[in-house]
Amino acid sequence: MEEERGLLTPIYDHLQISFSAINHHQEMGFVHFEDHPSQVLSFLPPPIITAAKPTAATNNGSLGFDQNGLPNIPSWNNNNNDLQVGALDPKDVNDENCSNDASNSWWRSCNSLEKSKVKIRRKLREPRFCFQTRSDVDVLDDGYKWRKYGQKVVKNSLHPRSYYRCTQSNCRVKKRVERLSEDNRMVITTYEGRHNHSPCDDTNSSDQDCFTSF
DNA sequence: CGCCTTTGACCAGCGC
DNA sequence: GCGCTGGTCAAAGGCG
């Protein structure tokens, strides 16, 4: 019983969102956002694809995480954001975004004495979730507070990638945000790790709703 | 004053 | 071994 499914919080009344979380040993999850039966957001297949559970969405406008710190849904504060999402060509989202990324090893600096175990640990690093949305804003409101710690121009991309870290102490969750060079309205967000706190720890008002909604 | 973003430098992994 | 690339660090500056 390894599967750990994220609970869905309704967001958009015109959207259907299916979300498949990952088990503790996977690199990342697999998330679909269904705006329309013919428009399904797809992601790179994770090493193991778990069954998705389509859930009708109604709106409250924020990205939720379950108690395990797993993202439930994408959301945007900007009303102009268009959550129509198109198919994501795997060529456009390399493994750097969505699957095994050998160079991404946030833990590598955690303990320099563990260098000899790098290859072992790499297989056990934090779970990651990647999804693609169409929006004018880069950073979605997921109820958590993020601090930008880096920006990097990546190869074959016209847009720089931004690196964010959860500002909560003892929480090492990170996320990366970048826009597709083919469509600068398409934003790829990759979460890495799990929050060890609720969004309410960071924001003390309306975020309560998103957390208690599941 | 504290928190944030920016940005160049540095480091480590990977492919050749 | 070397070069390329992505990820992180940390100093500097900005903003409320």
pTM: 0.62
Rounded to an integer, what distance in angstroms lies between the CA atom of residue A26 and that of residue A125? Answer: 9
pLDDT of residue A204: 42
C-beta of residue A86 within 8 angstroms of C-beta of residue A41: yes
Which residue type occupies A106? W
Compute the average pLDDT of residues A168-182: 85
pLDDT above 60: residue A99: no
**Bases on strand B under 7 Å from any protein CB:** 3-9, 12-15
Q: How far is the CA of A58 from the C1' of C7 (A)?
A: 37
Residue nearest C6 (alpha carbon to C1'): A103
pLDDT of residue A146: 92
C-beta of residue A29 within 8 angstroms of C-beta of residue A70: yes
What would the two tokens of residue A135 be? 């929006």
Element (H, E) at A122: helix A118-122
pLDDT of residue A115: 37
pLDDT above 70: residue A89: no
Hunting for tokens 């013919």 — which residue is that?
A38
Task: Provide the 3-class DSSP secondary structure of residue A40.
Answer: strand
> What digits encode the pLDDT tens for the residues A112-153?
333 333 333 344 456 677 878 887 777 777 788 899 999 999
Protein residues with beta carbon less than 7 Å from any atom of strand C: A 96, 101, 103-106, 109, 149-150, 152-156, 161, 163, 174, 176
Which residue type occupies A159? H
Rounded to an integer, what distance in angstroms lies between the CA atom of residue A143 and that of residue A61? Answer: 10
- Write the DSSP assignment of A67-106 as a string of letters: TTS-B-----S-TT---------TTTS-HHHHS--TT--G
pLDDT of residue A83: 40
pLDDT of residue A33: 43
**Bases on strand C under 7 Å from any protein CB:** 4-10
pLDDT of residue A113: 35
Which residue type occupies A195? H
Taking the C1' atom of every nucleotide in all shown strands and the CA of A152, the nearest one is C6
Residue % of chain A over a pLDDT of 70: 34
C-beta of residue A69 within 8 angstroms of C-beta of residue A173: yes
**What is the dihedral sign for C-alpha A23, A45, A143, A5?**
negative
pLDDT of residue A201: 56
Q: How far is the CA of A146 from the C1' of B2 (A)?
A: 16
pLDDT of residue A138: 75
C-beta of residue A171 within 8 angstroms of C-beta of residue A197: yes
Mean per-residue pLDDT over chain A, rounded: 55
Compute the average pLDDT of residues A65-73: 54
